[in-house]
Chains A and B, each alone.
Chain A
Amino acid sequence: MTGAEVRGAAGDATPVTMALQGIRKSYGETRALRGVTLEIRGGEILGIAGPNGAGKSTLMRVLAGEDERDEGEILVDGAAWRTGDPRDRVAVVHQEPQLWPNLTVAQNMVVGREPGGWSFPGLPGDDREVLSGLGILDYAHRPLAECPLAVRQRVEIARALAGDGRFFLFDEPNSALTEDESDRLFAAMHELAGRGKVVLLVTHRLGEMVTHCTRVAVIRDGVVAAELTGAALTEQGIARELVLGYQAVDAGDRARSGSGEALGDEHRPARGHDGPVASLRGWTAAGGAFRAIDLDLARGEIVALVGVEGSGARQLAASTAGFGEATGTLVVADTEAGTGGGGRTVYLPADRRGMLFANLSVGSNLVMRLGVPEIATPGGFLALGRLRRLSDELVHRFRVRTRSAAAPLPSLSGGNQQKVAIAAAIARRPSLLVLEEPTRGVDVGSKAEIYRILRDYARLGHGVLVYCTEVPEVHELADRVIVVDRGRPVLDLRVTDHPDLTALADTIASVEHTAVPGRSNHDPAPAAAAG
């Protein structure tokens, strides 16, 4: 730890406590929180872990006052406490700070609590002290947009401190920071705890939780399923809790030899060669997110890439489809694909909004990747009959639950929209299908269907490359998993050799590193590449 200045440690000594009692929250039919009860003591750093969809982000939104809870009490020092009060709120430090990039650091400090009067606000003396305590006073008069990410995050902390904030929530705060910057951020976190503040940390990096947290609460199915402290607080311990009690959504289906009946016979590829469907040699990202990757994807194989944000795994997946610059050789279906992946790859980013068209109908979305001759004549005129039959057929074949193909896309549930995106991709019949987190924010039923669709498609002799963040997804979907750390593969194993989910979680957790290589801020969603 670098020497964090403990300002006024003697002054505000009494630690604050926050008690959550039976917090419930539903979104329509979905019960996101089913009674969260948790005590948070000032002075400790409390880690919050949980698989996607377990209610972790809902809990954070409720605490930050962004969402109203349906039921339950929040007590602070024994008295009822209201969320969302701007003067006494939970300050959230995001991985990308939610501030005003057009204003200077000093101006960012006073927005919302400007001193009275009509004059353009300056920097009050108290704020100056807070900034200097966090070591960012030198940046006071620079526009926030010009400051490094680490400084921007500390401005968020400073804003909360200047407002006498008592509660701090760090949400994946260091996923884009260098090792050195993360160290300083954690030092600041420990300093806040030392002053008796409530400090919450949410991160996917289990190693950091173990190092820095006094206690870790694991959220599963909308409740606090476990609290780990002391000797029980280990990476393996958390990893096991994350997958414990996990119900396979599509049990016993792995072995089933996918006949591809859902996809129709015309999808059957030409048999006869057994070479890999895609192979990478010396594949290196232009920005350095990953280096010298050699990888072969067999026909019919589903490979999962796993790695924390900043490991390069996500960028690696996207680059194989031509999204994100990389050098080296990429061969897809026996043809050198260059960096574009040619027409043989299809890429689906993690964010649904990044691949679907809300202004169009379900049917239009399903056929949007097609062209001549599937939905248009060689002259470029739409073949309306064919277009309609094809979209009806895709709705039927992929069991998209919609009243008709003509229904607007936003009328569908998230899971069904996800199915539309995947169906549209498969309709293009790519040799290599690349997906990021294919079931993020999707209900259990749709999850099972999506896994089945992807497996069936792979079994027809195509390659599927998936970037995953959840071990159960790897376990259920992939034939092979590759863990990426600091831009290099550190583990490559057959999932079928690890029938036990817990054992697989252990193995993956043991190689996933905690720190990030020194690198610049990289856009995690390389959506806007390739024209």
Chain B
Amino acid sequence: MTQSPGTQTAEPSAARISFGLTSLRTYGLVIAIIAIALFFYLQNPAFASFQNLSQLLRSMASLGMIAFAQLLVIISGELDLSVGSVYGLTAVALAVIWLGEGNSPIQLPFILALIVALAVPLAAGAINAFFTTIVRIPSFIATLGMLSIAQGAELLLSNASNFNPQYNVPPPPQGEIDLFRALGYTRLPFDIPVQVLWLLVFFGIFWVIRHRTLFGFRLLAIGGNTDAARVTRLPVTRYKFVVFMLCAFMAGLAGILDFSFVGSVGPNSGGALTFPVFAAVVIGGASLSGGRGTVFGTLMGAVLLAVLRNGLAIMGVGAFAQLIFVGVVTIGAVTLDVLAQRAAGRRA
């Protein structure tokens, strides 16, 4: 009656747990991406060049990394609006602590500065979680406040100036600069940017967390029905602390990697990230009311946004008009999803 353990193939539990509409939706998204990419390719074959595609993937790395973590927050039934400003704050914190510039009280060697800088988003995430779970104010408000706090802290720390380690006076040791640039600027074999590797590694890590751990399994329940989760004695508060801290940490790490790639950091560098992070998660099929969403879907959401940006840029559409496209696509994708669900509900 039951299969012997040896014959069991690795049927993904995701398909088992949420078969049907969710996976159909992800296939639809992949098909849409292929169609749009094909369109851009026909417009300009340079779109499909190896160089352009690897540039496209690199450009979405930090967005994707943050979106994976934001997905977990959204699955748990909360949201984190502060990712953009935590991204900027962490990069600036690294710069001023390492270089001893701005209003930094201390100057530390690169490794120590990196550790201190990464503690900043962890603290921000813990504060977000504290007000959401212990004080019980909506995460919308808690993280909206954090958005402003992190932004203000960033400007205070930096005096709103730019930092470039290479041209700093006095410059840090060359070994430290090399290490710093290695994080986000190195090229791997075949000239692949290292940030693409970061993106894929974190895709793997978050896929395992979401689909293969007890944590991911219970997170679905917590976001799906918080009251029932409490009656079932699931560790609601602890899990929400983990997702908020993880989300802020990923934002901070992405900020540092982008700082490393660009080589300099200025004020308000992450402000434009908030929207696309949410757009990627939502286009990827997650429900903002919690309990639903996949890591692969989120990756595809981020890919769709990156393809649009890149392809439109190649066609010569300006950055301002691109924003309009991205907004239209986000609303369109979610509208299609809602209509499909309604149709499925009628059939059932």
A residues near B (Cβ < 8 Å) are 323, 343, 347-349, 353-361, 363-364, 368-369, 371-372, 375-376, 380-382, 384-385, 387-389, 392-393, 406, 408, 411, 424, 527-531
Contact = CB atoms under 8 A, between A and B. Distances in A.
Interface of B is mostly: helix
Contact of A361 (B17, B215, B216, B237): B17
B17 A406 contact: yes
A476 to B, nearest CB: 26
B231 A349 contact: yes
A345 to B, nearest CB: 10
B228 A361 contact: no
A381 B17 contact: no
Contact of B231 (A355, A359, A375, A393): A355
B301 to A, nearest CB: 19
Contact of B230 (A348, A385, A406, A530): A530
Interface of B: 2, 5, 8, 10-11, 13, 16-20, 208, 212-218, 220-221, 223-225, 227-237, 291-292, 348
Top 7 nearest A-B pairs by Cβ distance? A359-B224, A359-B291, A376-B214, A357-B224, A531-B237, A527-B227, A357-B221
A381 B231 contact: no
Contacts of A392: 2
A360 B220 CA distance: 8
Contacts of A343: 233
Given A359-B291, A381-B213, 7 more contacts: A349-B231, A354-B225, A357-B225, A357-B228, A361-B16, A393-B2, A406-B16
Contacts of A354: 225, 227-228, 231
Contacts of B233: 343, 369, 530
B220 A382 contact: no
Nearest to A365: B221
A531 B230 contact: yes
Contact of B225 (A348, A358, A530): A358
Nearest to A525: B227
30 contacts: A348-B231, A353-B225, A354-B228, A355-B228, A355-B231, A356-B225, A356-B228, A358-B224, A358-B225, A359-B225, A360-B224, A361-B18, A363-B16, A368-B218, A368-B221, A368-B234, A375-B217, A380-B215, A381-B208, A381-B214, A382-B213, A382-B216, A384-B13, A388-B16, A392-B2, A408-B20, A527-B227, A527-B230, A528-B230, A531-B235
A343 B234 CA distance: 12
A347 B213 contact: no
Contacts of B213: 376, 380-382
Contact of A406 (B2, B19, B215): B19
Contacts of A382: 13, 212-214, 216-217
B311 to A, nearest CB: 35
Nearest to B8: A385
A424 B234 CA distance: 13
Contacts of B227: 353-354, 527-528
A527 B214 CA distance: 24
A371 B234 CA distance: 10
Contacts of A387: 13
A353 B11 CA distance: 30
A240 to B, nearest CB: 36
Contacts of A361: 16-18
B314 to A, nearest CB: 40
B188 to A, nearest CB: 29
Contacts of B10: 384
A359 B220 contact: yes
A406 B20 CA distance: 11
A353 B214 contact: no
Contacts of B218: 368
A368 B232 contact: yes
